[in-house]
Homo-oligomer: A and B are copies of this chain.
């Protein structure tokens, strides 16, 4: 399963940089395909990584690109279940179609999470 490898790689890449990371891959409906919690990753990272992936696939956008709108115009939507405007969610595309997303959580900052997820996401595109 390519998704397992993608998630494992995401967790591993971050781990090698010293971050305790969790990665979640979701399908087009935001349902979990793979969830991996790295050793020592905080318990909230299961929710956080999932919600980044969920938001990414549902908005068809990497979550880091949604952060500005998420603080402004579309801020009210951040109360919806699983919607999280915070970097670390990266879309997975098949051609032009968004077919899933990967979310990473655990590094100290949205940009670092985004890098871990993006590297994987881009490789799997």
User: Nearest chain B CB to A76's CB is how many angstroms away?
Assistant: 4
A92 within 8 A of B: no
A117 within 8 A of B: no
User: Nearest chain B CB to A107's CB is how many angstroms away?
Assistant: 12
Q: In residues 11-37 of chain A, which contact B (Cβ within 8 Å)? A: 11, 27-37
Q: Are B76 and A79 in contact (CB under 8 A)?
A: no
Size class of the contact patch on chain A: 35 or more
Interface SS majority for chain A:
mixed
Nearest-CB residue, chain B, relative to A75? B71
Q: In residues 92-121 of chain A, which contact B (Cβ within 8 Å)? A: 109-110
Q: How far is the CA of A80 from the CA of B46 in the complex (A)?
A: 10
Q: In residues 26-74 of chain A, which contact B (Cβ within 8 Å)? A: 27-39, 42-48, 51, 54-55, 57-60, 67, 70, 73-74
Contact A32 to B42, CB < 8 A, known contacts A47-B80, A76-B86, A81-B47? no
User: Nearest chain B CB to A125's CB is how many angstroms away?
Assistant: 19
A residues with CB within 8 A of B: 1, 4, 8, 11, 27-39, 42-48, 51, 54-55, 57-60, 67, 70, 73-74, 76-86, 109-110
